[in-house]
Amino acid sequence: MAKTILVTGASSGIGRAIAIACAKKGLQVVLTGRNIERLEDTRALMERDEHIIIPADLTDNAQRQSLVDALPPLDGVVHCAGIGSRVLGKMLELEDVRHVMNVNFEAPVLLQAELLREKKIAKEASIVFIASAAATMPSVGNGIYSASKAAMIAYAKCLALELASRKIRVNCISPTMVWTDLALVGASEDQLHEAEKAYPMKRYGQPEDIAPMVVYLLSDEAAWVTGSNFELTGGAQTL
């Protein structure tokens, strides 16, 4: 029987690439995100037609609970939904902090807690958080975004210990710059094309560069991999 995987943020970017890659490996995917039309676009790109769409705003308590209630038992979860932010430290307001932390940290943590409470996670399942190399690679104006991803990594490492007795694995993937809509927050496309030349491989990542690592972590081949954070950087040492 095919494994069933929940992918959040599946309507675009890295989440879409992960959903497509999972389908190619024969996994059944539950796609969630806020925009049902874009989720349908993702499903149209996937192999086979058994994949499930459940739209939800994960920052909304009621919608998050409705998603959990509607889910089948899961063999894996990929927490990919998130937003970018680039605001200088002296310009930050309380709302800036709350908004980024709500989307990037609180929502996936609370979703994961509800999935566990409702016993939606199968024994020997795999949980993958898409974090960011920004957690350890500082850049100007990226403080709150970086902090949200650092918090995610710390949380995931603790969760890995809590779930180890059930052989449920928890890992993070931390890319540097990847060509998605988030990359364009605070910079133009021309600026990014110029900046990517400084990367050792002379380019930023593509969503399709991230998806294979996720597929590996979801697989039985990664049965002894937990509590880890994998930096996918294209050789870059800074953002």
Q: Which letter, b or e, does each residue of 120-146 get, where b requires 16 or more Cβ atoms within 10 Å of its Cβ?
A: bbeeebbbbbbbbbbbebeeebbbbbb
Where do the H-state alpha helices sit in the chain? 13-24, 36-44, 61-70, 94-101, 107-117, 143-163, 189-195, 207-218
Residues 203-217: tens digit of each pLDDT: 999 999 999 999 999
Contact between 173 and 130 under an 8 Å Cβ cutoff? The reply is yes
Q: Which domains does the chain have, with CATH numbers?
A: 4-227 (3.40.50.720)
Cα radius of gyration (the chain): 17
Contact between 15 and 33 under an 8 Å Cβ cutoff? The reply is yes
Tokens of 164: 């180890």
pLDDT on residue 188: 87
Q: Which residues are catalytic?
A: 145
pLDDT above 90 covers a percentage of the chain that reads 93
Tokens of 79: 């927490």
| Between 200 and 239, residue with greater pLDDT | 200
Q: What is the pTM of this model?
A: 0.96
Residues 44-98: tens digit of each pLDDT: 999 988 999 999 999 999 999 999 999 999 999 999 999 999 999 999 999 999 9
